[in-house]
């Protein structure tokens, strides 16, 4: 799996992430410096939610203009814990973003939230429109495998947000998730080794299986 860490300015932590091959997750509500990493762009809705604010459209538009073109992918604006209302919001933004020539061919991810099921978004998903699994922790862990199946059936990628433990990384791997992001390794370089080992476990097991054939 590809691992993304929340952007940090701490040199020690950046060096550790770079050595381990992690990428950065930039937030539209955060500092828009890539630090020389490959990166993805989050829409900033989580930060707004935590602050009790409405979605910050101006911050998202600025981030898309500055760093969106070179991002691995961009998370389409959503409403955290917003269910179907979030999907309606995301649909409108998806249409807006797809009309921009500067984002031609860019991969966009639709966030899914509690109250949504694959039937709600099946018509939206394709090679350039993947899935970002949000929602609360219980719902996320219970449903992420079905989102991964839908994404892969439609030739898309599936990403899970806010993954900060080795156990959750292993669950993501078992569910067939393509990538995840977390903030723990951005704050504490000492947290990186066990989490990086967990994300590589599937590769190790695959290598061992080949050796025993």
Name beta bridge partners: 130: 109
Long-range (24+ apart) CB contacts under 8 A made by 201-208 are 201/170, 201/173, 202/1, 202/173
> Which letter, b or e, does each residue of 156-169 get, where b requires 16 or more Cβ atoms within 10 Å of its Cβ?
bbbbbbbbbebebb
Q: Quick one: pLDDT at residue 204?
A: 46
Spacing of C-alpha 46 from chain mean position: 12
| Cα distance between residue 202 and residue 41, in whole Å | 26
Q: Quick one: pLDDT at residue 209?
A: 40
Q: How far is CA 70 from CA 21, 116, 190, in A?
A: 18, 30, 30
| Residues with Cβ within 8 Å of residue 27, at least 6 apart in sequence | 6, 7, 41, 42, 44, 46, 47, 63
Q: Quick one: pLDDT at residue 190?
A: 85
Q: What is the chain's pLDDT, residue by residue, as a tens digit (213 residues)?
A: 999 999 999 999 999 999 999 999 999 999 999 999 999 999 999 999 999 999 999 999 999 999 999 999 999 999 999 999 999 999 999 999 999 999 999 999 999 999 999 999 999 999 999 999 999 999 999 999 999 999 999 999 999 999 999 999 999 999 999 999 999 898 888 889 999 999 988 644 444 344 444
DSSP of 171-209, one letter per residue? HHHHHT-SEEEESHHHH-GGGHHHHHHHHHHHHHHHHHH
Tokens of 158: 């599936």
Q: Quick one: pLDDT at residue 189?
A: 83
Q: Quick one: pLDDT at residue 210?
A: 45
Q: Quick one: pLDDT at residue 202?
A: 60
CATH class of residue range 2-212: alpha beta
For residue 32, how many other CB atoms are within 10 A of its CB? 18
Q: Quick one: pLDDT at residue 184?
A: 87
SS3 of residue 77 by DSSP: coil
Q: Quick one: pLDDT at residue 159?
A: 98
Residue-range domain boundaries for the chain: 2-212
């Amino acid at each position: 799996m590809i691992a993304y860490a929340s952007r940090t300015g701490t040199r020690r932590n950046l060096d550790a992430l770079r050595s381990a091959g992690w990428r950065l997750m930039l937030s539209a509500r955060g500092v828009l410096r890539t630090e020389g990493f490959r990166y993805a762009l989050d829409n900033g809705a989580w930060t707004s939610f935590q602050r009790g604010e409405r979605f910050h459209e101006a911050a998202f538009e600025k981030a898309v203009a500055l760093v969106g073109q070179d991002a691995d992918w961009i998370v389409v604006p959503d409403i955290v814990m917003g269910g179907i209302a979030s999907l309606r919001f995301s649909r409108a933004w998806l249409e807006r973003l797809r009309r921009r020539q500067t984002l031609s061919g860019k991969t966009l991810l639709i966030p899914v939230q509690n109250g949504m099921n694959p039937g709600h978004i099946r018509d939206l998903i394709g090679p350039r429109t993947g899935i970002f699994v949000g929602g609360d922790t219980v719902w996320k862990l219970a449903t992420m495998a079905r989102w991964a199946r839908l994404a892969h059936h439609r030739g898309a990628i599936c990403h899970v947000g806010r993954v900060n433990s080795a156990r959750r990384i292993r669950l993501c791997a078992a569910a067939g998730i393509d990538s995840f992001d977390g903030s723990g390794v951005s704050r504490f370089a000492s947290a990186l080794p066990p989490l990086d080992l967990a994300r590589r476990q599937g590769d190790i097991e695959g290598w061992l299986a080949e050796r025993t054939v």
